[in-house]
Amino acid sequence: MKRFLFLFFGITTLWFRPSHAQTTPVRDRAGTTFSNPLPVQFGDPYILYTRGTYYLYGTGGADKGFAAYSSKDLVNWKPEGQVYFHNNKNGWSDPKASWDGAYWAPEVYEVKGKFYLFYSAQWKVNPSREVENFRIGVAVADKPTGPFIDLANQPVFDPGYPIIDANVFFESNGKAYLYYSRCCYKHLVESEVADLARKKGWFKEVEESWVYGVELKPDFSGVIGEPVLLLRPPVRLSDKQAEWESRSVTAREVNRRWTEGSVTFKKDNMYYIMYSANHFGGRYYAIGYATSTSPLGPFKKSDDNPVLQKNTDQGGTVTGTGHNSIAYSPDRKEMFCVYHARTAKTGDERVVCIDRMQVKNGKITVFGPTTTPQKYPSGVPVAVHTK
């Protein structure tokens, strides 16, 4: 645990270093291609598209809150400054808690002309003084650039354990579902992987994070019913998912197995939930997915997992690929996986990447990670990205 906290604090210091404004396009001379990473230093990236403009939100680049960037083409980004401040009139978080209040993983949704920002942070109600006291909040604004004001002076709900990585799925029948990750903190789980770690002398115990889903009230003031467990790390070593989802433990990075950073969408009457496993600060952070015929499962993990992972074994320079969201090209003909990663050049700094993805016959394919030139997203006007 001490080793984990040391790594955690060191990496988090990098997270909250202010991002430098970078608007120089990453493109070739003809202006028809771009290359990853994009010129934004964010973790946990999320993209909203509204009224002809993309807005990018993420962890980092702000002082105890969240910043945003805007773009017309998904490639060239303009800083919009800080859009959420913890000390708004309804602020419920504790900026003095560990990790400067842990303002992480913002996602913004447009609903009936308003913009709602879901995020996680340290809750100031903490009588037992837990180190990880994360909860999920929601703030509202009239514009995608804020300022966002919390709907209430408390989190959306309190499940009794720390939670992060909010994602909301809106069903065609008007219902909304909140997905989140229960943190590893004090969540010791027995498994054959934990047994192996003890036998090998790597760790005495293994903690896990699990993904849950629950229906949201229409006004986002709370939840309806009890959360449903949707995804967790494999219990048995013989499980097809065990090898890739346990690499942080088997590589002796940390004594934790994560299931986090989920994003849910629906296509052709099938529900897909993409998720990240392994240590977000390590090399093995990777993305998998599961499918279901219902928004609250049961979900079945794909045999093709992981669908995005480091490429250094193939001579590439990318590691730590994870916590993705989904975006579409301006003409909606192309689908993109938006994720953070690290490269040999960027070092420990998390940077944003986008790669094309395909969903066909119940299967997700992500064509990445890439650092070589690729075409601009389809539907981008020529005048936007040429000199």
List alpha helices for 170-309, DSSP H.
Answer: 192-200, 242-245, 247-250
pLDDT in tens, 68-96: 999 999 999 999 999 999 999 999 999 99
- Catalytic residues, which ones? 44, 260
Checking if the pLDDT of 1 tops 50, the result is: no
Checking if the pLDDT of 186 tops 90, the result is: yes
Q: What is the pLDDT of residue 174?
A: 93
pLDDT band at 383 (very low <50, low <70, confident <90, very high): low
pLDDT in tens, 227-285: 999 999 999 999 999 999 999 999 999 999 999 999 999 999 999 999 999 999 999 99
Distance CA 189, CA 202 (A): 16
Q: Is 333 exposed, middle or buried (0-12, 13-18, 19+ CB in 10 A)?
A: exposed
Q: What is the mean pLDDT of the chain?
A: 92
Mean pLDDT lowest among 21-30, 75-84, 197-206, 343-352: 21-30
Residue pair 103/85 in contact (Cβ under 8 Å)? The answer is no
Residue pair 386/31 in contact (Cβ under 8 Å)? The answer is yes
Q: What is the pLDDT of residue 32?
A: 86
Q: Parallel, antiparallel, or unpaired for β 207-208 and 256-257?
A: parallel
Q: What is the pLDDT of residue 358?
A: 98
Q: What is the pLDDT of residue 64?
A: 97
Q: 2 by DSSP, 3-state: which?
A: helix
Helix (H) or strand (E) holding 383: helix 382-385
Instruction: Residue count of the chain, please give it.
Output: 387
pLDDT band at 381 (very low <50, low <70, confident <90, very high): confident
Q: What is the pLDDT of residue 54?
A: 98
Q: What is the mean pLDDT of residues 204-230?
A: 98
Helix (H) or strand (E) holding 9: helix 2-15
Q: What is the pLDDT of residue 99?
A: 97
Q: Which domains does the chain have, with CATH numbers?
A: 2-385 (2.115.10.20)
Q: What is the mean pLDDT of residues 329-344?
A: 97
